[in-house]
């Protein structure tokens, strides 16, 4: 089936619910759960610092430091099991991904509020490739001007790609849920402009 475009105005979003086969997705989920240096990132909201409601790890090539919500994150080294995933995404999408934000949602209480991936380090037209592992969670996009919404269920092994003007016109969130839900790991691959090009 492959990547299929989603019906969104002012955006370029595509989705493949079965990008990874189940055995490969299982292997990645187990390896990343135990093999990544998970930490609680501190974020600034409305002038106050809070603990992010998920565990995270910023991973990337040298020179891919990333400033988010007032905090500068230096990249950790790539775990070997992520390198084939990166290579496949680079080949299929034609993008030289040099970093990935790994997020671990321990249960339904872990979530992420409305935001756009529009930091200057990503450039004017970023491509975000999001691979989901583990529990299926609902991902919601909301248009900045019209407030139109689209909700997508992101299952184990799926790939969501946001490109073009998506980040300029749309925000997205991963809402919390009170229903019992197991652990999920999300990998959002990005291309960060090297720090020497930003100085």
pLDDT digits (tens, 9 = 90+) for 111-151: 999 999 999 999 999 999 999 999 999 999 999 999 999 99
CA distances in angstroms from 84 to 41, 79, 99, 158, 184, listed in the order given: 26, 10, 13, 16, 20
Q: What is the pLDDT of residues 21-37, one digit of tens each?
A: 999 999 999 999 999 99
Instruction: Using alpha carbons, select from 75, 77, 99 the residue that is nearest to residue 86.
Output: 99
Token pair 């529990």 is found at 135
What CATH class has 4-197?
Answer: mainly beta
Reported pTM: 0.93
- The residue count of the chain comes to 199
Q: Where are the domains of the chain?
A: 4-197
């Amino acid at each position: 089936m492959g990547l299929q475009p989603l019906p969104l105005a002012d955006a370029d979003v595509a989705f493949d619910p079965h990008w990874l086969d189940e055995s490969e997705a299982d292997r990645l989920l187990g390896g990343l759960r135990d093999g990544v240096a998970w930490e609680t990132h501190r974020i600034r909201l409305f002038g106050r610092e809070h603990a992010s409601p998920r565990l995270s790890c910023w991973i990337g090539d040298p020179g891919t430091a990333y400033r988010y919500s007032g905090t500068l994150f230096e990249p950790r080294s790539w775990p070997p099991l992520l390198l084939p995933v990166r290579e496949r995404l680079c080949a299929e999408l034609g993008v030289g991904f040099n970093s990935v934000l790994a997020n671990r949602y321990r249960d339904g209480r872990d979530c992420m509020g409305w935001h756009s991936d529009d930091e200057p380090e990503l450039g004017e037209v970023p491509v975000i490739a999001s691979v989901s592992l583990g529990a299926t969670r609902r991902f919601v996009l909301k248009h900045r001007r019209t407030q139109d919404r689209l909700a997508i269920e992101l299952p184990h092994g799926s790939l969501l790609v946001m490109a073009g003007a998506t980040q300029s016109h749309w925000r997205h969130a991963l809402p919390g849920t009170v229903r019992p839900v197991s652990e999920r790991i999300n990998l959002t691959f990005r291309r960060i402009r090297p720090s020497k090009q930003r100085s």
